[in-house]
């Protein structure tokens, strides 16, 4: 609609067009049929309808919050031996909030589709499993395993780094080349 305060046209965007959904509902009403149930993707996209400006604010807020939480976890790294569950939870929560920020930009379903592309799915699976592994290492044993928490966090970082490089053209190839020259 038109933004009365600024006199500009502010377009609401959705992550997936819902024209097909409306057309199916109207068709069902005209024919006297029971309307079809919404799919999970349609329900999620219905919840994610907001303006580009709002999505940008959500993205920035989530990235800043995620970075602050991760920074706090690094400040509390000295407590990893005494309270590994607290440290691992903070670090993992920071990563999850930062990852959720991308949902604001491209939408949750598109982000999941991008994570499952052939160039990214291995890094994405390792990343998600390391998130789960970190929390399991922190909460499942009677006494949390600090070393296992640290290993899972390192795997989280590496998997996220490798996953992020997949979005930059030739970045993985350049990183491999640099790593070879440093190692050799």
Handedness of CA 130, 165, 50, 70 (dihedral sign): positive
Can you read off the two tokens belonging to residue 46?
């219905």
Q: With contact defined as beta carbons under 8 Å apart, do 87 and 73 qualify?
A: yes
Q: Which residues contact 134 (CB under 8 A, 6 or more apart)?
A: 88, 91, 92, 149, 152, 153, 156
pLDDT in tens, the chain (184 residues): 454 555 544 444 444 444 556 666 777 777 777 766 767 666 666 656 777 788 888 889 999 999 999 899 889 888 887 888 888 889 999 999 988 888 888 888 888 888 899 988 999 999 999 999 999 988 888 888 888 988 999 999 999 888 888 888 888 999 999 999 998 7
Alpha-carbon gap, residue 13 to 62, rounded angstroms:
20
How many whole angstroms separate alpha carbon 49 and alpha carbon 53?
12
Predicted TM-score of the model (pTM)? 0.68
Residues 27 and 77: beta-carbon distance below 8 Å: no
């Amino acid at each position: 609609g038109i933004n009365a305060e600024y006199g500009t046209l502010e377009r609401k965007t959705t992550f997936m067009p819902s024209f097909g959904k409306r057309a199916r509902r109207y068709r069902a009403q005209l024919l006297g049929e029971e309307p079809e149930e919404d799919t999970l993707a349609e329900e999620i996209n219905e919840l994610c309808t907001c303006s580009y400006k709002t999505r940008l604010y959500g993205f920035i807020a989530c990235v800043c919050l995620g970075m602050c939480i991760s920074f706090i976890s690094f400040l509390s790294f000295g407590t990893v031996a005494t309270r590994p569950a607290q440290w691992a939870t903070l670090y993992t929560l920071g990563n999850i909030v930062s990852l959720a920020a991308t949902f604001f930009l491209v939408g949750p379903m598109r982000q999941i589709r991008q994570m499952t592309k052939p160039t990214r799915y291995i890094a994405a699976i390792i990343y998600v499993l390391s998130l789960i592994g970190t929390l399991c290492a922190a909460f499942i044993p009677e006494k949390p395993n600090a070393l296992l928490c640290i290993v899972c966090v390192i795997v989280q970082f590496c998997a996220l780094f490798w996953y992020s490089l997949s979005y930059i053209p030739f970045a993985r190839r350049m990183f491999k080349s640099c790593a070879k020259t440093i190692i050799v």
